[in-house]
Chain A
């Protein structure tokens, strides 16, 4: 792929200057931030009023759990692509790594929301403790583990952002920028040892983040969905949940990168190559989505045991059948039909469009799963769903929360962009060193260095 990329003609000094000055180009974001703040506050008020109205009926928490599960993928899934590309030395992803990394800021919304939903889970049935209390039944309480892991995910994400920003803050400090960021990066002067520590930190924190992400999805899918539906014991479901979450996370990174490119004036940094590379992973994830969906569906459909028939009637073929079909089209059929073509993959618009479809698909899928699971009333104990509950439609509070939570994440993202450049300056300069264009057999080719 010998693409003529602006990187070939950029100097390191120019990159530092340009990206440090990026904050000045954010003036137009002020209006957007005000609107997002209003939506976030409205969502918060709606959430508080929902909390004050008590945990029952359980069905009223279905849409809150939906947006939470969506954010755990579309938000917390962003840093995964960063870790993978660092581990696999995928230098093509360098310009969009920061966009993915900053998505960890969504933890500031998803962690509190998670803790709220955790305490709304039913604790009792038939006069017996079904779910051990976080306060009185330690350490057997599943909610303890859920809480520990979501907190770890949130903190690790923030630590990743901090680690990634240190060299850039140091560069800003050396360029004369004062304030909190200069203090936070005071110790970093770029010695060989510091770079070594930083690189090891990325690998260790990244690996820890991925593992925590996987476990959070395991706990979320098990405790907030499967455990609420009697007879639903699918061991592949947590993996499906994590992979579809990652699919939406990568899609979100693509969308943000396209917005930064279009409205943030970063055309010299983010180009077709990044979307091309990411689209291949998106295609693979769409195929994986299908594979895991199929594994999840085929067994109960084939087994035909009473609890399996009832579970299928509720979650797949019952009141939420339309959502299931729509999600399947948006997350698998359409992405496959589009991304199978190289011209679509090799464009900017194609992968972004498909990414938006995937996000919509994952959102609808989460709605199908969580709204149906939380709509099962009564005790959790019996092994078969006795009555298939009717469709639960969202009310005003649900809508406000479902808009407010992503708005809060977007607001935080824009705020963070005021102190952290949207493209990692140090990583981008590394890319300039490791990549060059050379004449070869009458044409120009890209040469990539592969250091250890």
Chain B
């Protein structure tokens, strides 16, 4: 899925993350075929995802809650160990590395969290919060450390004097700036932003987005931007992957994908976004239903129970994510005939 042939900065290959469902002893037992049996259930959060992120790109991961976008982000950064598949950073599989072996990669991939209130320690000074990656990786000590923090604070648009203050003295937008400064402290290449602005007020959101775009330009950062807010995604990203129930259903260049979404789910999702262009909501794509539970995935295409264009084949046959036209991948049987002869399949 790489239009240019450069090696991607990060490559996610067939990544799967399932969580076993923790339940009580009696709920785990079921009477079947004449005797009690143990049943085990799993949450299928991420199912065989393939993704490339190129240096300098902003790849947006969009989808509704429960579609696995945050799990995918957290698996990439190593907060979860993958059930199967690989996370390849600069040619090295880091998915299963832990402890000291992982440390050099941790430095290069950092994360910005959604909630600026719970993601920074209220008992620490801003200086120590931002300096944590510096301390962990032993990048600077003493005066050099304070100086680095001061530079970072200025980079994110805060005064260097704030280093001695505590988080409660700051507003949500300022705290998110502190979170961004902390993510920048170890000079990463890739920043994973997990819904970085959805907890902020509307007028503050634009400020944080501008800051992120400024930083990308100044520092040559690569972003994996996880969001459910499609207008934000359209603005900030240059590539989009749409997720549904742990699968990527469509992938392509941002402008082209927003102009002409191909997958029925993407069409439904985009039609539901309130926009200021049309001032009377019209349901064009037959909105119905909600995202089903990821415990028991629908068979065939996972979207078929809600799909307005469902065909018989969709109920039994799971569509692969394939290149349907140059630079656009979709997982939908509607485009079976359009499959490019050399279409590179993304799922095995």
Our verdict on whether A and B bind, yes or no, reads no
